[in-house]
Structure 1
């Protein structure tokens, strides 16, 4: 189902000069913050958890997911170039799965790796905190990529909607409002981090079994519906 040609074109679109520069900003900022915090406060597990949970997982990962997920297909739909891709003898699920794979890979590279590096800088992986948050970033990257890829197929304002979701729902409501936490990818990912590092180091309001079910369900449903939307787009173009 993976198509190397589609993957190459998608990587080229996502890692173009302008978009790649945007992708590097947040990871670079996380590393700078981590260096400054370590220099001023030393190695502290609670501070490490606050930085990785408050900035890396709550802000950086969803924002990078927005850029990679919507950018994998949204611009092609907006400018009409998707028609050329759809005119090729390619199965629509293959196109979606390939673009999702690329979006996941890019999101993981620009979020999970910096999270691990930041954690090692902050406390040298004391209490497995760096590894725990890295796992959370990896898992969240999959769900965010699927959600935002779907968003790119259903709206021409996918980036704006994605930013609102990432900044308002995930970073604000998902962290502060108890009822909203259950419906937050951030909290689902933190449930896995909590399993690795322990409840004292990482906090999540969602139990691990429910978190795993929701992560898998959201990823699968979003991917399936994105493929369905792409089929509808093809039919509309042919009519």
Structure 2
């Protein structure tokens, strides 16, 4: 971790325009939860649906995409990253710092609102809300690593990330069992399923496999980002 890089990245990410992007979806989720609670639509099934479909399947990947690509992508696009690369800072430290910032932002703007929405709707009944919070946290870490790696590897990271989150996980996942199982969302849901007895929550992936895949994807994304960053440095020197 590098405190200076982290501070500069936080400042850039929490500027007015990006802050509005980060706040819009969480506020919508909380308004939805309050509205459902006020109208009496707050049973366990509805709470599970809101936390899974809106929190885990929509809010989490989109916020992780904004955070993961935003912490480093713009610096690569405008060339400012070369200023950082000229400093005597190991590339691994730069990547880990950027990833840590992305995880903190994803936690603050996706995991915490999902937790609050669950508390508003059903509290801690059947441990559903804590389970979703923990599942969203581990999923957010994996998403962040993947999207940071994409931002370093491609200028089309946002497009690729949207295709993965919205087409592969959401659209194809609804029709193709194979695509559904090969998704961070399902691996996170497996963690949630293991932590709650609520019947609406079911995963298609066994817990040991899901945990292993989450760890592998997180480590692979981090390694790929660090490796690609070294390549950027060599290319600039040439």
- TM-score under structure 1 length normalisation: 0.96
Partners of 2:204 and 2:198 in 1: how far apart? 11
| CA apart distance, 1:158 | 1.0
**What secondary structure, in the 3-state scheme, does the structure 2 residue paired with 1:8 have?**
helix
**1:191-238 Cα distance to aligned partner (Å, 9 max, x none):** 111111126141110100000000000000110011000000000000
Aligned to 2:126: 127
Partners of 1:50 and 1:19 in 2: how far apart? 28
Q: Structure 1: which 4+ aligned runs deviate by more than 6 Å?
A: none
Aligned to 1:142: 141
| CA apart distance, 1:177 | 2.7
| CA apart distance, 1:159 | 1.2
| CA apart distance, 1:35 | 1.2
Partners of 1:200 and 1:153 in 2: how far apart? 40
The answer to whether the Cα contact below 8 Å between 1:49 and 1:129 also exists between their aligned partners in 2 is yes
Matches within 5 A, 1:64-213: 64-198=63-197, 200-213=199-212
Aligned to 1:50: 49
Unaligned runs of 5+ in 2: none
Partners of 2:42 and 2:143 in 1: how far apart? 31
Partners of 1:131 and 1:221 in 2: how far apart? 28
* Equivalent residues, number: 238
| CA apart distance, 1:184 | 0.5
Q: Go from structure 1 to structure 2 and tell me whether the alpha carbon gap of 1:176 and 1:13 turns closer, same or farther (over 3 Å shift).
A: farther
Partners of 1:202 and 1:71 in 2: how far apart? 32
| CA apart distance, 1:126 | 1.2
Aligned to 1:230: 229
Task: Please give the root-mean-square deviation of Cα atoms over the aligned residues, in Å.
Answer: 1.1
Aligned to 1:31: 30
The answer to whether the Cα contact below 8 Å between 1:14 and 1:72 also exists between their aligned partners in 2 is yes
Unaligned runs of 5+ in 1: none
